[in-house]
């Protein structure tokens, strides 16, 4: 490369081109809840949309039974067990207090029925039957639970038993509870029906599902929890118009408070948050100036869809700009990565998405490039361009 072109190259600067996004006026909106611990998670992305003390480990009570269910479903998925595998009932399981499926000592129960008992009526006895038949004891099963938790990224959780009966070593964060619920829903679709059964009958005893969200629009799970230490909690899931959300509330003083608080938060999850597609795969988002090319500009495109789920006020305040070294030097091949599209939302660090040349730009001849180079030397490019 000649000294002339090296001089031109030294004059290159970072172009910042504003990209228009469709949004209105920013309005001050916030989410409030009476729950000491709460969270809203987007089902598609796993993004946390709202959180309150959601990363602090808490006693999860029977919400920890989701991990017992997840271990069993994972073993079914890998072929180690089947849904019809018979599990025997020990006297210890039969004698366990608290919420019960009312298993009978000495009987054998198919695994899928025990999972119904764990989810629908929160049976401590059913959870012990599963733990003993898989691992031999609660402690050995808790080791499996902890290994699975580590593998699934539940970094704020530790398990000491399969049922959630109070133990100082049994802790989960609301974030982990929601992540686990999402993992179960996404990984084991054949067993989603278990989480919305309205009732269960076993040993001639019919019990209703205690989940206060079932019956609301789109609600389909997932698990309640209550002990004196933990208070009342629930992890809920629902889908409306193709959008899935998970909510967690915990630490509430009564079952009535749990029901009303969870219902409000679930409605908030759908009414106050929106998923917006800013750009789809292959959308052209602007153009960049080209030096030494047969064309003076090259169109820029994104290679993947850019979707975000945020509070409606944040979506309204979104802005975007293109960042690239200007001018781009010819030749340019279609698909060359040329910079980033930066999207900023109020109160968040900007997020960068790569942008690529949408077309090929051939190089000019030497004489033509030298003429352009001389003009460029005496007319430095602006640091910021507007569309």
| Cβ-Cβ contacts under 8 Å for 51 (sequence gap 6 or more) | 38, 39, 40, 174, 175
List the Cα angle 342/178/27 in 5-degree steps: 45
Q: Which of 52, 64, 65, 100 is catalytic?
A: 65
CA neighbor of 133 nearest in space, from 74, 86, 82, 84: 86
Q: How many CA atoms lie within 13 A of 102 on its CB side?
A: 9
CA neighbor of 39 nearest in space, from 171, 153, 178: 178
Q: Which of 99, 122, 237, 313 is catalytic?
A: 122
**112 in a labelled binding site:** no
Q: Output helix, strand, coil percentages for the chain, rounded to the nearest 5.
A: 30, 30, 35
Burial of 79-110, coded b for 16+ CB within 10 Å and e otherwise, reads eebeeebebebbeebbebeebbbbbeeeeebe
Burial of 203-225, coded b for 16+ CB within 10 Å and e otherwise, reads eeeebebbbbbbebebbbbbbbb
237 tagged catalytic: no
Stated as kind and residue range, the H or E segment containing 185 is helix 174-187
Q: Which of 62, 157, 196, 326 is catalytic?
A: 62
Return d(Cα 70, Cα 66) in angstroms, integer. 6
65 tagged catalytic: yes
Q: Which residues are annotated as a binding site?
A: 223
Query: Which residues are known catalytic residues?
Result: 62, 65, 122
Binding site, annotated residues for substrate: 223
């Amino acid at each position: 490369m000649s000294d002339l072109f090296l001089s031109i190259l030294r004059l290159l600067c970072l172009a910042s081109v504003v990209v228009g996004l469709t949004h209105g006026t920013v309005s001050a909106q916030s989410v409030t809840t009476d729950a000491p611990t709460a969270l809203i998670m987007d089902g598609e992305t796993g993004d946390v949309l709202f959180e309150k003390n959601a990363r602090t480990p808490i006693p999860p009570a029977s919400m920890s039974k989701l991990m017992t269910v997840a271990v069993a479903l994972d073993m079914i998925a890998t072929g180690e067990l089947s849904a019809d595998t018979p599990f025997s009932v020990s006297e210890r399981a039969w004698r366990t207090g608290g919420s019960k499926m009312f298993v009978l000592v000495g009987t054998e129960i198919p695994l899928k029925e025990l999972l119904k008992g764990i989810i629908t009526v929160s049976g401590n006895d059913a959870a012990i039957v599963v733990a003993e038949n898989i691992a031999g004891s609660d402690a050995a099963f808790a080791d499996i639970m902890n290994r699975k938790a580590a593998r699934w990224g539940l970094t704020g959780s530790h398990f000491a038993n399969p049922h959630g009966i109070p133990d100082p070593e049994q802790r989960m964060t609301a974030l982990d509870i929601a992540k686990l619920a999402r993992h179960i829903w996404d990984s084991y679709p054949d067993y989603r029906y278990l989480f919305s059964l309205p009732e269960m009958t076993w040993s001639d005893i019919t019990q209703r599902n205690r989940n206060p969200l079932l019956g609301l629009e789109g609600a389909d799970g997932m698990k309640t929890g209550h002990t004196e230490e933990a208070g009342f909690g629930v992890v809920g899931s629902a889908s409306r118009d193709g959008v899935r959300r998970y909510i967690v509330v915990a630490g509430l003083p009564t079952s009535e408070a749990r029901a009303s608080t969870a219902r409000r938060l679930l409605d908030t999850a759908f009414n106050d948050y929106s998923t917006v597609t800013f750009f789809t795969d292959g959308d052209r988002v602007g153009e960049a100036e080209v030096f030494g090319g047969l064309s003076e500009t090259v169109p820029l495109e994104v290679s993947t869809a850019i979707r975000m789920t945020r509070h409606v006020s944040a979506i309204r305040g979104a802005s975007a700009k293109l960042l690239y070294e200007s001018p781009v030097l010819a030749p340019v091949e279609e698909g060359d990565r040329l910079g980033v599209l930066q999207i900023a939302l109020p109160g968040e660090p900007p997020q960068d998405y790569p942008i690529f040349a949408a077309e090929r730009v051939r190089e000019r001849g030497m004489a033509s490039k030298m003429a352009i180079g001389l003009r460029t030397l005496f007319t430095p490019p602006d640091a910021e361009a507007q569309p």
